[in-house]
Structures are given as structure tokens and as C-alpha cells.
Amino acid sequence: MPELFNVRTPPEAWRIFQEHFRPQVRTERIPTAQALDRILAEELTAPQDLPSFRRSTVDGYAVNAADTYGATPGLPAFLTVVGEVPMGQRAELEIGLGEAALVHTGGMIPEGANAVVMVENTQQVDEASIEVMKAVAEGENVIQIGEDVRAGEPVLPSVKQLRPQDLGGLLALGITQVRVALPPRVAILSTGDEVIPPEETPGPGQVRDINSYTLSALVTRAGGEPLPLGIIPDQREALEAAVAKAAEMADVVVLSAGSSVSYRDMSAEVINGLGRPGVLVHGVSVRPGKPTILAVCDGVPVFGLPGNPVSAMVIFDLFITPTIRALLGTDTPPKQQIQARLARNVASVTGREDYVQVRLEERDGELWAVPVFGKSNLIYTLIHADGTIQIPLDSGGVREGAWVTVFLH
């Protein structure tokens, strides 16, 4: 009566795996403009003050604030206009007491001025003079030198995933190249004598390959580079050769395994032959996904996933996504989470983590997670789901109405 040996809880499995996995982040330098969603691999500090000159935030007149104190529509302050500051040029003018200069939004504040009166609060008297109808405080409507960032200040932490505004902030400082983590290469092997490429028509007993494609897409989403290596027949020599080649080419190897006991035993033996220490965990107390293999072979993480698409996806999220993130230098998961209320009781068993597919429904302004039940062999269970909830290890289940965290697909 063959059985899985040495079944571990997910946290135990991850801890054992981490003891032998020493992630090395590979990096490259690329143009900042092309770095959207990449993970920064250096600590960046501002090479200069931003802005590098005092700027106006409005259209108006640069003035000495003191000249406007007490000004009202009934008793305006009278100022002499000494010129206009052109955009994109040094403000050559200097403002003396009782003087003002026209300045545009974003324009440079001239020497001698310390505030800007909005044009709406002024009235033109003649070519060379205005009335100011509202007082301004010192610094009002002015961005000071270094108010956005000061030279030498840290601007972005290492391991930050770069967003549109982060690119803007770097380019504003003239940082046109950045060092980012290289996407880890993840080799994907689909195995099984019953598996055929999707473009072929299956004969009796045959099914089309799904996992090569869903796993490749999951690798992309996690920030890795998928290397799908095709379908390997259930023969020991073929599997050994394919796994050895994969471990040479890639930073991570994933076997989407045949699910039969004899096949699982063969995968474990082949992985053990690949390098030290070999298989670390064989069997995890999680549903779906129990027949999972975690291994490190001469520094390369190797995973044996159950062949069922739902199990493969749950185990991918649980172990392979964090492995890819570690190789990117970060532990931030790429998936979004939201809170919702569980729409029906879900039973579980203490000592096992359950992952349940759910679809989201809004009812009276509240978000509900409705379990999508289905055998883990059914890909359409996943297609009808918007996300996954976890029923914890030490829980016998979760009651209808309870708040749960949904990890969105």
C-alpha cells in the first residue's frame, strides 16, 4: 500500500526548503524609461535638489510678501511691474521693494521676491503697474529649492517594484539608467504519456497539455521568464535528460508531473539524482496539492507539482511564486488581496491547509466570496473563480458570514 512519506505542513515545508535555498539575485542595467514593473536592485539617492530653482505654482506676480500685507479689494497694494519671467530661462530680473514681475506656473522666482500673488487677486492699472487685492505670506505659491527631494536624500529603496510615478521621479533627477533584477528563468516540463500538444487532436485516453501554458503565464505574472521545455514521456531516461538540461539552463525547474504513485516515485528519484541535497519535502498537508515535491539540487530549486491544474496553481502560488520573488530580491507578493465575507460554511480538517476557489459577488454594497466547488482536475473550476481563500491549518472550517482574505487571480 504505497503512500506519501514525510508529509509536512506548508510552513514546515517552506522552512525546510529555505534552509537549503540561497537565492542569488542577478541584475542588469536598463534605461529607466523601460523599467516599468521591474524590481530595483540598487539603493538610489538624489544627485541634486529637486526643484533646482524656486518655482511658482500659479500664474501671477512674484513679489515681496511684506509689500502685500494688509492688502484688500478696498485697500489694494500698488506695485510696479518690472518685467516678465520667460519660461525655461533664468529670471534675470531682480525685484526690489514695491516691485513685481509676471511669472507663469512652473516659472523661476526672480531674486528679491519671496512669494507669488495669483493673477486672479490682482488688477492691471496700466502697462507698468498693478493693484494687489489680497495679501500673501512669505513662501506662498512658491516651491522651494529641494522641496520635492533634497540632494543626497534616498529616493527609492532597493527591491522596489517600479511604478509609473517612480520612473518619473527618477527621470526628473536625471537618473536615466537603473540596475534592476533580471527575471529568474523558470524551466517548465510537462510530463505524462497521456499529454499531447494543444494543436493536436487527442485520441482515446489522451488530453491536451494545459500546465505548460498556465504555469508559463504564472511565471510571467510573478516576474520570471518562463522556459517551457515541452512534454516529456513517462520514461526514466527521458525525464533524467530533460531535468538535467533544465537545471543547466534555468534558475528554477518545475515539473508538472504525472500524478500516479509510480510516476511520483520516479520523479523523486530522478530529482534526487540531479544534485545535493535533492528532495527535501515529498508531500504537503494541503488540499488540493498534497503530492508535491520540494527540492534543491546543487543550488537549483526543483519543484514537482501535481498534474491537476487546480492543484498546480495552488502549489505554484504557495511555493514557486515566493521562490521567484526571492530571486528578484523581494518578498512582496505580486497578487492583490481583498477582504470579503464568506457566502457559505466551508468545512476543513485540522492539520491541513485548504485552498478554496471563490467567485466574488456584490450584495447590498458588500463583497461576498462564493465558493466554486469542483474537483481539482477541472480547469473550469479556476475559470469560474476570481480568487482563492485559505482555510488555515488549525481550523476545522470557516462559517458563513466570516471575513476572509481573497487572493485575486
Q: Give the residue with the Cβ less far from a second copy, 348 or 381.
A: 381
- Segment 100-119, which members bind a second copy (CB under 8 A)? 104-108, 119
Nearest to 149 by CA among 116, 172, 183, 177: 172
Grid cell for residue 97: 521693494
- Segment 22-81, which members bind a second copy (CB under 8 A)? 32-33, 36, 50-53, 55, 57, 59
Site string for a second copy, 189-228 (x = CB under 8 A): ---xxxx--xx-xxxxxxxxxxx-xxxxxx-xx-------
Establish if 156 lies at the interface with a second copy (CB under 8 A). Answer: yes
Q: Judged by CB under 8 A, which stretch of 11-19, 64-72, 271-279, 377-385 contacts a second copy?
A: 377-385
Measured in whole angstroms, the distance separating CA 294 from the mean position of its chain's CA atoms is: 25
Q: Residue 277: CB partners within 8 Å, gap ≥ 6?
A: 20, 295, 296, 297
- 187, with CB counted inside 10 A (0-12, 13-18, 19+), is buried
- Segment 284-313, which members bind a second copy (CB under 8 A)? 307, 309, 313
Site string for a second copy, 165-194 (x = CB under 8 A): xxxxx-xxxx-x---------------xxx
Q: Judged by CB under 8 A, which stretch of 143-151, 237-245, 320-328, 341-349 contacts a second copy?
A: 143-151
Q: Give the residue with the Cβ less far from a second copy, 94 or 248.
A: 94
How many other C-beta atoms are found inside a 10 Å radius of the C-beta of residue 298? 11
Establish if 161 lies at the interface with a second copy (CB under 8 A). Answer: no
Which amino acid, residue 105?
Answer: T
Site string for a second copy, 270-289 (x = CB under 8 A): --------------------
Nearest to 103 by CA among 125, 81, 124: 81
Distance CA 24, CA 274 (A): 20
Q: Exactly one of 71, 77, 155, 178 binds a second copy (CB under 8 A); which one?
A: 155
Q: Is the peptide bond before 277 cis (omega within 30 degrees of 0)?
A: yes
Q: Residue 48: CB partners within 8 Å, gap ≥ 6?
A: 151, 173, 174
- Segment 336-365, which members bind a second copy (CB under 8 A)? 336-339
Q: In angstroms, what is the minimal distance from the CB of 340 to a second copy?
A: 10
Give the total of residues touching a second copy (CB under 8 A): 94
Distance CA 119, CA 317 (A): 57
Measured over the CA atoms of residue 146, residue 168, residue 221 and residue 31, the dihedral's sign is negative
Cα dihedral 343, 308, 246, 185 in deg (nearest 10) = -20
Q: Exactly one of 245, 370, 379, 397 binds a second copy (CB under 8 A); which one?
A: 379
φ, ψ dihedrals at 243, nearest 5°: -70, -40
Q: Give the residue with the Cβ less far from a second copy, 194 or 269.
A: 194
- Segment 246-275, which members bind a second copy (CB under 8 A)? 258-263
Q: Give the residue with the Cβ less far from a second copy, 198 or 277.
A: 198
